[in-house]
Structure 1
Amino acid sequence: MKDLQACTASPFGSCTVRTLAVTAGIVFLYIAYKLVHPEQFIITAIITLAVWLSRRFLDRQSFRSLGLNDWNPDDLVNGFVALVIPLVIVSLVQWLTGWATLKGWGMDAAGRTYLPSEMLGGLFSAFVIAGLTAWREELLFRGYLLDNLQRGTGWLWGIILSSIFFGFLHIILTPNAFSLTLAQQISIVTLSSLAGLVL
């Protein structure tokens, strides 16, 4: 009751800000859902629910204890930088080894050009997919798996094992992974495991 009174005391109080943030989040998710493949949201919801149920009923811990209780704006900036650097490195490695080619900006492989609005829609979709993927991976590997592994094996082995699981998941989920050469498969697992260690 005290929170409700404090919340309604000021028109610009924390409840107003929270309500606006939640509303903006719902609108953002609705637009994103219309632009992005729905299965991305379904997979994210299933993993989130599975982790929540496991945390609540198997571990008898709160969901927030997975590191979701403290939020610092600096973490957002640091996380973004930590995301961009490995993506640039992986892209450079792929380009230097010939696994990827850059043919131009604003066109597809067939040479069709796209309007700036279409490119922005594609960038928005990529941003949403990356955000959903990051949420799933962080919640599952850096949240649930790491927390439970480090309880049984210690901090260092928890990080190493969760990073190896992270790496193998990426080879399993890579389309046509088993048609790649052994060197390519090893590099995917190694880079993903290293990303798991660093990030």
Structure 2
Amino acid sequence: MVLESAINAIIQVILVSVIPFIWWFFSARKEQSFLRWLGLQKPDIENKGNYFVWFLFIMVLLFVPLYTITYFYLDSSILASNRFTGLGFSALIPALFYAMVQTGLSEELLFRGFLLKRFKHKFGFQMGNIMQSLLFGILHGWMFYSLVPFGVVVLVVMATAFAGYLMGWINERKSNGSIVTSWGIHGIGNLIASFVAMFNVL
């Protein structure tokens, strides 16, 4: 399970990086390295206290609606974290690969790294952040479209779009464009969901 999780995570990161890499290669390779172009760099934080308050606040703000929807409206068997149900600590390493790399890193590279930065350059930060967050929400809603009632799909889209917006905001406004911050928020959130499944908390 560990090897399979590692391979799946690496493949997903590579797949979501193909189009951004091609875009960078033909438009920006002489100006910036690929990873810096995507924002995969150490956050440049001016006020660490303020930054960590916002980090924790966004974690809590996202936790409540997303887990409320998950608990009351979604069957846990259709969630990606369901693969770890009841496995306890034996699933710790696979869960880390899933939460931090397969979903956390790959989605942040695509949405807050590639899409937000391209949209921001074209339309400005506010519109760019709204656009990437809506795409982020629609993608998550689409994954549940045939599995749950339409009203629940709308809730999923709204909650995940809100999450995407806040993660884009903290990256660009508090981390000097680094996606490491949203990667941390995203990865920790998915890891909590995996732990809930691993230990049958709900």
Q: Provide TM-score, normalisation by structure 1.
A: 0.62
Displacement of 1:124 in angstroms is: 2.8
Moved more, 63-72 or 127-136: 63-72
Query: Contact 2:69–2:155 at 8 Å: present in 1 too?
Result: no
2:62 is the counterpart of 1:99: no
**CA shift digits 1:31-88 (9 cap, x unpaired):** x851516333211112124322321224445321322233469789976874565245
Question: How has the CA–CA distance of structure 1 residues 37 and 127 changed in structure 2, closer, same or farther, with 3 Å as cutoff?
Answer: closer
Displacement of 1:126 in angstroms is: 1.9
Higher RCO structure (Cα 8 Å, ≥6 apart): 2
Alignment RMSD, CA only?
3.3
Amino acid at match of 2:66: V
Task: Please point out which of 39, 62, 67 is paired with 1:86.
Answer: 62
Query: Contact 1:55–1:144 at 8 Å: present in 2 too?
Result: no
Question: How has the CA–CA distance of structure 1 residues 81 and 178 changed in structure 2, closer, same or farther, with 3 Å as cutoff?
Answer: same
Amino acid at match of 2:154: I
- SS state at 1:70 partner: coil
2:141 is the counterpart of 1:165: no
Task: Please point out which of 189, 195, 198 is paired with 2:157.
Answer: 189
Bigger radius of gyration: 1
Q: 1:159, 1:181 → 2: CA distance? A: 28
Q: 1:143, 1:127 → 2: CA distance? A: 21
2:107 is the counterpart of 1:137: yes
Amino acid at match of 1:46: L
Query: Contact 1:66–1:143 at 8 Å: present in 2 too?
Result: yes
Q: 1:188, 1:141 → 2: CA distance? A: 17
Task: Please point out which of 45, 66, 84 is paired with 2:38.
Answer: 66
Question: How has the CA–CA distance of structure 1 residues 88 and 134 changed in structure 2, closer, same or farther, with 3 Å as cutoff?
Answer: same
**CA shift digits 1:121-169 (9 cap, x unpaired):** 2233222211111111111111111111112111110000110011111
Amino acid at match of 1:39: N
The percent of aligned pairs where both chains have the same amino acid is 24
Counterpart residue number, 1:47: 16
